[in-house]
């Protein structure tokens, strides 16, 4: 039982991190109808920037303080992500207004390649570490209930808390601010939003900036867990089933989908894996999402798709 | 002026419905095919065969298959690499397990394995479409990656999933020299392309296009979406599977599951989009673009940077290549979202009205 709980909690934590990446997908799809395949590359790019700036900061400023270096690196990386968001809107999206979804998907694939190349050219392609001082030693809880207790990784807990805080902040931003309302209006209907004077171009930049920040946070957390390296882009591929499970347009869907996928993956790996040779984590999530889609094509919280001739 | 088609009158439906109703098109295509079979072998060097021509021919075949699914039937697929892998490992299993298995039946059987796999993973297309489907097809990709790495039966108990084939021969003729490999692949490509061209002109091809353009309207006028979509998946994955088997057998010789990773799926989709959705010709253009571009960049980049006195490392080249590749894709989508095939027909139109612009 303790082992099951451990797996379950580990799954929840991993799911929270998937949800964080999935959130980036959902935000952009919601506000611009673009399925942003470049989210993974953005995560890598942001994490690379953050890792390197944190390294360089003491040399540049002469202040050898880890907290200062990390905060400054975070701010700088955020600024770079804003620049990337602006460039994407200005150079790519603006020219592709009204193209069909497949073209936009391809464009983001192009952006993916570009960002992967650019990130590694600017920041190098070795394995870097982000050290934001998260405690790494596992702790045991509930020792009175189970023998040996349940092992929990405090790093995961902190990561999940950060993710939860980010989601909460985003919900407030979407629900309570004027910009957030404008974003939701654009999501509902581009043309109607434009006609009442909402500047579409600016909204897109804002959305991509927010997605950039989400990517940065995801990259920071994943990077401090796994190290910053090229394989970070595959995290995005693992977050994709989360998006289709939760529905492309739903923020809560991304969270709950993430948790379901995270738990499903871990449980399947532990309890199903040994029978079929292991390593099934990567496709299990997809097959789970796929089977689910057969019953509810729009995902858990997606908007019902209505076709008319 | 240069491309004059007036005076070519059609007096029967048969004449009007030919693949190339215009005489000079027909001559040009036959001349091109003849040149590929006769002229190219006289001129090409071994490096040219191995680095460019053979990959180009095989990738054209794969792009043709993907174009049937994505371009003609409108089902975006990111799992094409998986169908290639199934074709390759399927054919390998037939060669390895059946004594004296001839090459061509093995390729066809490999293609049939891919067909089965394609139909299985095409089933979600009955319920979901568009971007959801694109993501759902990734399931096929990851499943096949895992399957050939972990299930030892498929790879004849090789520990890392890497397999190899040798002593290829067709009708007693060995397929060993680069030239023979090229001609063999080219012959298959021509046969498949003619079949595909006729298929998309037939009733079933029109059903696919109706589904692509608007599936609800298509089903209202009596097209069965299930039949049309699954047949597109079947035909497409058969062609892609044969291409995969050729890629493994003829081009690589020995391969492992990583040879058919998700990267190859993306590249195939690029080929189709850059070449032109819903165009047989476009598949060739797209494949040529994607296959030749990295080679050209590899040759040109160091020389070009050398002019400015910049030394570039191998890793630097590959990163720059990624950037240029990505930028070109975006540029292409912005400038010509209908692909190279559209440029081709624009060019023909210009030739038609030359020297007057309208």
- Give the model confidence (pLDDT) of B151-166 as tens digits: 878 777 777 778 888 7
Which chain A residue's Cα is nearest to B326?
A: A110
Say whether B138 and A240 touch across the interface (CB within 8 A): yes
Of B58-72, B197-211, B253-267, least confident by mean pLDDT is: B253-267
- pLDDT, residue B244, reads 93
Phi, psi of B163 (to 5 degrees): -135, 165
Separation between Cα atoms, residue A273 and residue A284, nearest integer Å: 10
CB-based contacts of B199, cutoff 8 Å, min separation 6: B68, B205, B235
Q: What is the pLDDT of residue A133?
A: 67
For the residues B311-321, what does the mean pLDDT come to?
A: 77
The mean-pLDDT minimum among A156-160, B87-91, B187-191, B258-262 falls in A156-160
- What pLDDT sits at residue B109? 92
Instruction: State how far the Cα of A17 lies from the Cα of A218, in Å rounded to an integer.
Output: 7
Minimal Cα–Cα distance from A200 to chain B, Å? Answer: 19
Nearest residue on chain B to A308, judged by CA atoms?
B216
Query: Is the CB of A294 less than 8 angstroms away from the CB of B132?
Result: no
Interface test with A, best of B74, B145, B146, B210 (most A CBs within 10 A): B146
pLDDT band for position B240 (cuts 50, 70, 90): very high
Do residue B319 and residue A117 have CB atoms under 8 angstroms apart? Answer: yes
Reported ipTM: the value is 0.82
State how far the Cα of A24 lies from the Cα of B262, in Å rounded to an integer: 21
Q: Which residue of A has its CA nearest to B151?
A: A277
Number of neighbouring beta carbons within 10 Å of residue B247? 25
Tokens found for residue B67 = 């174009």
Residues of chain B positioned with their CB less than 8 A from the CB of A293:
124, 127-128, 132, 136
Which range of A109-118, A131-140, B4-13 scores highest in mean pLDDT? It is A109-118
pLDDT band at A264 (very low <50, low <70, confident <90, very high): confident
CB count in 10 Å sphere of residue A227: 16
pLDDT in tens, A183-226: 878 777 777 888 888 888 888 888 888 888 888 888 888 887 77
**Residue of chain A nearest B313, judged by CA positions:** A121
In this model, does residue A297 exceed pLDDT 80? no
What is the DSSP secondary structure assignment for residue B255, as one 8-state letter?
E
Residue A306 has pLDDT above 90, yes or no: no
* Helix then strand then coil, % of chain B, to nearest 5: 75, 0, 25
Question: pLDDT tens digit string along A215-231?
Answer: 888 888 888 777 777 77
Q: Which among A96, A110, A290 is the nearest to B139, CB-wise?
A: A290
Q: Does A278 touch chain B (CB under 8 A)?
A: yes
Q: What is the pLDDT of residues A103-129, one digit of tens each?
A: 888 888 889 989 988 888 888 777 777
Residues of B in contact with A110 (CB under 8 A): 325-330, 333
By CB neighbour count within 10 A (0-12 exposed, 13-18 middle, 19+ buried), where does B41 fall? middle
CB B133 within 8 A of CB B253: no
The fraction of chain A above a pLDDT of 70, given in percent, is 91
Domain boundaries, chain A: 1-232
Q: Which of A92, A279, A309 is the closest to B216 by Cβ?
A: A309
The reply to whether A279 touches chain B by the CB within 8 Å rule is yes
**pLDDT at B137 (0 to 100):** 86
Please state, in angstroms and rounded to a whole number, the distance separating the CA atoms of residues B180 and B189: 14
Mean pLDDT of B181-188: 90
What is the pLDDT confidence band of residue B1, given thresholds at 50, 70 and 90? Answer: low
Residue B304 has pLDDT above 70, yes or no: yes
Report pLDDT for B238. 95
Residue of chain A with shortest Cα separation from B145:
A283
User: CB–CB of A307 and B215 under 8 A?
Assistant: yes
- Confidence band of A22 (pLDDT split at 50, 70, 90): confident
Nearest CA in chain B to A112: B326
Per-residue pLDDT reduced to its tens digit, B217-233: 998 999 998 899 999 99
Report the candidate in B111, B106, B113, B139 with the shortest Cα–Cα distance to residue B125.
B139
Query: If you measure CA to CA, which chain B residue comes closest to A114?
Result: B323
When pLDDT is cut at 50, 70 and 90, the band that residue B299 belongs to is confident
- Under the banding of pLDDT at 50, 70 and 90, the label for residue B276 is confident
pLDDT of A12 strictly over 80: yes
Query: How close A72 gets to chain B, by Cα (Å)?
Result: 27
Reported confidence tier of residue B247, pLDDT bands at 50, 70, 90: very high
Would the pLDDT of B358 be above 80?
no
Q: Do B139 and A286 touch (CB under 8 A)?
A: yes
pLDDT at res. B239: 95
What is the mean pLDDT of the segment spanning A139-165?
72
Partner-chain residue, chosen from B151, B214, B270, that has the shortest CB–CB distance to A277: B151
What average pLDDT does the structure give for chain B? 86
Other Cβ atoms within 10 Å of B109 Cβ, number: 21
Q: Do A114 and B330 touch (CB under 8 A)?
A: yes
How many Å lie between the alpha carbon of B154 and the closest alpha carbon of chain A? 13
Is there a contact between B328 and A110 if contact means CB atoms under 8 Å apart? yes
Give the whole-angstrom CA distance, residue B86 versus residue B266: 17
Does the structure show a pLDDT above 70 at A39?
A: yes
So what's the pLDDT on residue A142?
63
Q: Is the pLDDT of residue B126 over 70?
A: yes
Query: Higher-confidence residue: B292 or B160?
Result: B292
Residue A292 has pLDDT above 90, yes or no: no
Pairwise CB contact (< 8 Å): A91 & B330: yes
Q: What is the predicted pLDDT for the residue at A145?
A: 62
Do A114 and B150 lie within an 8 Å CB cutoff?
A: no
Q: Do A287 and B143 touch (CB under 8 A)?
A: yes
**Residue B58: predicted pLDDT:** 93
DSSP chain A: -HHHHHHHHHHHHHHHHHHHHHHHHHHHHHHH----TTHHHHHHHHHHHHHHHHHHHHHHH----HHHHHHHHHHHHHHHHHHHHHHHHHHTGGGGTT--HHHHHHHHHHHHHHHHHHHHHHH-SS-B--------S-EEE-TTTSTT-EEE-HHHHHHHHHHHHHHHHHHHHHHHSHHHHHHHHHHH-HHHHHHTT--HHHHHHHHHHHHHHHHHHHHHHHHHHH-BSTTHHHHHHHHHHHHHHH-TT-HHHHHHHHHHHHHHHHHHHHHTHHHHTS--HHHHHHHHHHHHHHH-TT-SSPPPP----
Residue A15 clears pLDDT 80, i.e. is over it: yes
List, for residues A233-261, the tens digit of each pLDDT value: 777 788 888 888 888 777 788 888 888 88
DSSP A145-174: TSTT-EEE-HHHHHHHHHHHHHHHHHHHHH
Task: Please name each of the domains of chain B with its CATH number.
Answer: 48-353 (1.10.3470)
Distance of residue B330 Cα from the nearest chain A Cα, in angstroms: 5
Average pLDDT of the segment spanning A129-135: 70
Give the rounded percent of residues in chain B with a pLDDT score beyond 70. 99
The residue of chain B with its CA nearest to that of A111 is B326
List B255's β-bridge partners, or say none: B163
Amino acid B41: pLDDT: 82
Residues 121-180 of A with CB under 8 A from B: 121, 125
Q: Residue B291 pLDDT more than 70?
A: yes
Whether A84 has a pLDDT exceeding 80, the answer reads yes
pLDDT value at A99 more than 80: no
More confident residue, B190 or B351: B190
């Amino acid at each position: 039982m303790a082992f099951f709980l451990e797996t379950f909690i580990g799954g929840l934590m991993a799911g929270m991190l998937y949800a964080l990446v999935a959130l980036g997908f959902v935000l952009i799809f919601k506000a611009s109808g673009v399925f942003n395949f470049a989210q993974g590359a953005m995560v890598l790019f942001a994490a690379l920037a953050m890792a390197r700036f944190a390294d360089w900061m003491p040399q540049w400023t002469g202040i050898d303080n880890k907290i200062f270096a990390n905060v400054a690196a975070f701010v700088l990386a955020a600024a770079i992500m804003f620049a990337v968001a602006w460039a994407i809107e200005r150079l790519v999206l603006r020219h592709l207004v009204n193209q069909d979804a497949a073209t936009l998907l391809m464009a983001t694939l192009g952006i993916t390649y570009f960002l992967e190349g650019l990130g590694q050219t600017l920041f190098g392609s070795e394995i870097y570490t982000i050290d934001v001082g998260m405690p790494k030693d596992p702790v045991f809880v509930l020792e009175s209930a189970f023998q040996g207790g349940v092992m929990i990784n405090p790093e995961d807990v902190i990561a999940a808390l950060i993710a939860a805080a980010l989601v909460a902040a985003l919900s407030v931003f979407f629900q309570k601010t004027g910009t957030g309302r404008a974003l939701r209006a654009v999501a509902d209907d581009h043309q109607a939003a434009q006609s009442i004077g909402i500047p579409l171009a600016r909204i897109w930049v804002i959305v991509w900036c927010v997605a950039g920040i989400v990517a940065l946070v995801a990259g920071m957390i994943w990077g401090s867990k796994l190290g910053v390296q090229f394989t970070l882009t595959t995290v995005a591929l693992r977050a994709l089933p989360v998006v289709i499970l939760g529905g492309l347009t739903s923020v809560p869907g991304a969270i709950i989908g993430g948790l379901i996928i995270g738990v499903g993956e871990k449980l399947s790996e532990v309890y199903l894996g040994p029978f079929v040779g292991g390593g099934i984590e990567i496709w299990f999530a997809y097959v789970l999402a796929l089977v689910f889609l057969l019953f509810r094509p729009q995902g858990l919280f997606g908007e019902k798709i209505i076709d008319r001739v | 002026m240069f491309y004059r088609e007036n005076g070519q009158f059609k007096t029967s439906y048969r004449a009007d419905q030919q693949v190339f109703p215009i005489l000079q098109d027909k001559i040009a295509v036959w001349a091109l095919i003849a040149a590929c079979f006769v002229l190219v072998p006289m001129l090409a060097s071994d490096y040219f065969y191995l680095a460019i021509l053979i990959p180009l021919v095989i990738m054209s075949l794969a792009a043709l298959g993907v174009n049937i699914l994505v371009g003609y039937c409108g089902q975006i697929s990111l799992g094409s690499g998986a169908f290639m892998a199934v074709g390759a490992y399927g054919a390998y299993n037939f060669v390895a397990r059946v004594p004296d298995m001839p090459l061509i039946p093995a390729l066809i059987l490999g293609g049939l394995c891919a067909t089965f796999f394609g139909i299985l993973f095409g089933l979600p297309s009955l319920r979901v479409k568009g971007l959801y489907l694109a993501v759902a097809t990734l399931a096929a990709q990851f499943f096949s990656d895992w399957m050939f790495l972990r299930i030892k039966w498929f790879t004849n108990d090789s520990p890392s999933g890497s397999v190899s084939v040798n002593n290829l021969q067709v009708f007693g003729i060995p397929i060993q020299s680069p030239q023979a490999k090229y001609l063999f692949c080219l012959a298959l490509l021509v046969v498949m392309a003619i079949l595909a061209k006729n298929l998309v002109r037939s009733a079933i091809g029109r059903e696919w296009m109706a589904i692509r353009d608007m599936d609800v309207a298509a089903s209202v006028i009596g097209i069965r979406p299930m039949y049309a979509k699954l047949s597109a998946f079947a035909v497409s994955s058969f062609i892609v599977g044969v291409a995969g088997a050729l890629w493994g057998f003829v081009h690589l010789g020995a391969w492992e599951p990583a040879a058919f990773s998700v990267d190859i799926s993306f590249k195939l989709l690029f080929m189709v989009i850059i070449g032109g959705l819903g165009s047989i010709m476009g598949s060739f253009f797209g494949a040529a673009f994607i296959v030749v571009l990295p080679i050209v960049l590899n040759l040109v980049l160091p020389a070009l940077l050398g002019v400015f006195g910049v030394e570039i490392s191998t890793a630097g080249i590959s990163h720059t290549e990624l950037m240029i590749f990505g930028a070109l894709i975006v540029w292409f989508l912005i400038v010509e979202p209908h692909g190279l095939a559209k440029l081709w027909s624009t060019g023909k139109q210009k030739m038609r009205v030359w020297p007057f612009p309208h």
